[in-house]
């Protein structure tokens, strides 16, 4: 039985490591439940446990204090600060187990961590990434901003077809047994100067932007969260709890 119900949680401004640990606990709980269900099914007939033991889904929103994270395929030299520089910027650094290269998280940026069992939705990781991108594209459209995709890269971009290409949303995910973690970082009102201390996502010839920069005014981040949550729920056919 596919469970379309999703537990939405807004963790507010949370230390990156604390949020990572909470993610890992939810992720591990779902993966271990799937393993337990399949182990029991292997010694019984039919799919009775699959029917009566649905796996949970979570959609997490939060913001982080200044932090740089490096994905497992990234290059450490894409962080342009040493330990002293990180302290001066009041930032921390973590190598982590998502895909992708280096990125920045900070106040004014919506970070979304969908911890979904894709067996409840669709088992296609590329479609999963494109669907998250589409939710951001639709959210920006609601503010009169036309965004899209950059061929060959993940994320959401403006003017991807010319030399003014600039990125507003980065994606990096982990998936095991079709259970996801990590997710997207959507620039609403962050301090863009922090991106100058990295080669964002390994791309050294493109700018990073934000809604505030594109619109010329500070945006109500809580309003953006509501709109983004709605688009995610519709695109995935979720029932948000």
CB 15 within 8 Å of CB 64 = yes
Which residue, 7, 21, 9, 168, is CA-closest to 97? 21
175 is catalytic: no
Q: Most distant CA pair in the chain: distance in Å?
A: 61
Tokens, residue 16:
């990156």
Exposed, middle or buried, 189 (CB in 10 Å: 0-12/13-18/19+)? buried
67-70, strands of its sheet edge to edge: 92-95, 67-70, 102-105
For the beta carbon of residue 213, count every other beta carbon within 10 angstroms. Answer: 17
**Whether the Cβ atoms of residue 168 and residue 73 lie closer than 8 Å to each other:** no
Pick the catalytic residue: 62, 169, 175, 201? Answer: 201
Distance separating alpha carbons of residues 53 and 60, to the nearest angstrom: 22
CA of residue 22 relative to chain centroid, distance: 15
> Residue 156 half-sphere exposure, CB side, CA atoms within 13 Å?
27
Secondary-structure breakdown of the chain: helix, strand, coil percentages, each rounded to the nearest 5: 35, 25, 35
- List, by residue number, the catalytic residues: 201
């Amino acid at each position: 039985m596919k469970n379309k119900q999703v537990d939405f949680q807004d963790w507010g401004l949370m230390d990156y490591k604390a949020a990572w640990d909470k993610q890992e606990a939810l992720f591990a709980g779902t993966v271990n439940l799937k393993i337990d269900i399949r182990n029991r099914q292997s010694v019984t007939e039919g799919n009775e446990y699959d029917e009566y033991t649905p796996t949970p889904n979570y959609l997490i929103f939060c913001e982080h204090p200044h932090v740089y994270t490096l994905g497992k395929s990234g290059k450490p030299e894409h962080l342009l600060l040493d330990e002293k520089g990180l302290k001066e910027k009041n930032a921390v650094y973590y190598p982590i187990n998502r895909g992708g290269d280096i990125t920045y998280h900070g106040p004014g940026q919506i970070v979304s961590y969908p911890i979904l069992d894709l067996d409840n939705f669709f088992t296609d990781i590329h479609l999963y990434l494109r669907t998250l991108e589409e939710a951001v594209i639709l959210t920006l459209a609601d503010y009169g901003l036309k965004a899209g995709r950059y061929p060959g890269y993940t994320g959401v971009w403006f003017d991807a077809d010319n030399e003014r290409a600039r990125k507003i949303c980065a994606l990096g995910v982990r998936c095991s047994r079709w259970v996801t973690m990590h997710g997207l970082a959507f620039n609403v009102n962050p301090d863009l100067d922090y991106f100058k201390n990295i080669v964002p996502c390994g791309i050294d010839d493109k700018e990073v932007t934000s809604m505030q920069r594109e619109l010329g005014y500070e945006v109500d981040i809580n309003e953006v969260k509501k709109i983004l949550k709605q688009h995610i729920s519709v695109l995935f056919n979720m029932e948000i709890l």
